[in-house]
Amino acid sequence: MYQDGYSLLLPCGLLDYFSILKVEDSKAQIKIYLEEKNNLDNPQYESKGFYPNVLVNDFPVRGKTLLLDLRRRRWIHKQTGEYFNRNLHLIAEGTRITQEFASFLKGLHR
């Protein structure tokens, strides 16, 4: 099972909302494919497909780039037909890196 070892590399709390689908581990990088769980606790919304995948950089691991390939769900309100997605604050605004990694890099440049 992928979650056993690779889950330790993920930002805290990420597996509350995502499941690991697969992992590609090469000499230069580790790429973890994640899919948002269908666990929205609101019966007025239902999952209606996915947004395009987003590729996000996280902390390097043992000299390897760590990439997170996130597949986010699209939720639709059953009565209004309006789409909704959870704002999980995973990605630093205006970047393609995780919030934790951005905070770390910001601290280095002070």
Q: Is the pLDDT of residue 19 over 80?
A: yes
pLDDT of amino acid 5: 83
**Distance from the first to the final alpha carbon of the chain:** 40
87 vs 51, higher pLDDT: 51
pLDDT interval class at 92 (50, 70, 90): low
Rounded distance between C-alpha atoms, residue 101 and residue 32, angstroms:
16
pLDDT of amino acid 32: 94
Q: Is the pLDDT of residue 37 over 90?
A: yes
**Edge-to-edge strand list for the sheet holding 54-61:** 18-25, 29-36, 64-71, 54-61
